[in-house]
Structure 1
Amino acid sequence: MENKFYMYVLKCGDDSLYGGYTTDLKHRLEQHQSGKGAKYTRNHLPVEMIYSESFDNKHDALSAEYHFKHQSRIKKLEYLNENGVNLSKYGLSL
């Protein structure tokens, strides 16, 4: 079985965006929702996964996460929009 590595984006309860890395999207979302995920999301519940992208290696997934996290909000929204996320579905807009 081939491992997959993911960069994902969560929309938090305050409409902020959180980027992360995992090898198991379902389990990681459950961790975030239960308050056992990242310190940031623990204080911004509830969370909803609005985007994920798979990579063949950990380096590329972590690189994508890093680049996402270090963008302005508008750049994050543009990235999501360009990658097919229907922003209005999540109450977000450019």
Structure 2
Amino acid sequence: MPHVYMLRCADGSYYVGSTRDLQKRLQQHATGLGSRYTSSRMPVELVWSQETETIPQAYALEKQVQGWSRAKREALIADQWDVIVKRSRRRGGRPPGG
């Protein structure tokens, strides 16, 4: 099944990716073959993952999370959905769409 995942790099930054095979991809990251970004920031640690039903869903979620602030990513890791919702509101306190 496809997955979206987030790694914490040795420098404290986060890397968000998606894959068809999570265990294989994590092994690639651990050996420095996962991506140019993570290979220069090793070691890396899996801090969050989400299984999806389809590859397009995984890719869309990957792109969404990549666009999030550090605070929203950390709320996702901590499973603090109330913080994510709060940080998703538009400036001025209005919820999106109204």
TM-score by length of 1: 0.80
1:5-84 equivalent positions in 2, closer than 5 A:
5-82=2-79
Indicate the structure whose relative CO is greater, using CA pairs within 8 Å and at least 6 residues apart.
Answer: 1
Q: Compute the displacement of 1:83 (Å).
A: 6.0
Q: Which residue of 1 aligns with 2:85?
A: none
Q: What is the rounded CA distance, in whole Å, between the counterparts of 1:52 and 1:5 in structure 2? A: 10
Larger Rg belongs to: 2
TM-score by length of 2: 0.77
How many residues matched? 81
Q: What is the rounded CA distance, in whole Å, between the counterparts of 1:45 and 1:77 in structure 2? A: 19
Over 3 Å counting, the alpha-carbon distance change for 1:54 and 1:70 in structure 2 is same
State the identity %: 33
Give structure 2 stretches of 5+ with no counterpart: 82-98
The 4+ residue runs of structure 1 with deviation greater than 3 A are none
Over 3 Å counting, the alpha-carbon distance change for 1:46 and 1:66 in structure 2 is same
Q: What is the rounded CA distance, in whole Å, between the counterparts of 1:48 and 1:82 in structure 2? A: 17
Give me the CA root mean square deviation: 1.5
Give structure 1 stretches of 5+ with no counterpart: 85-94
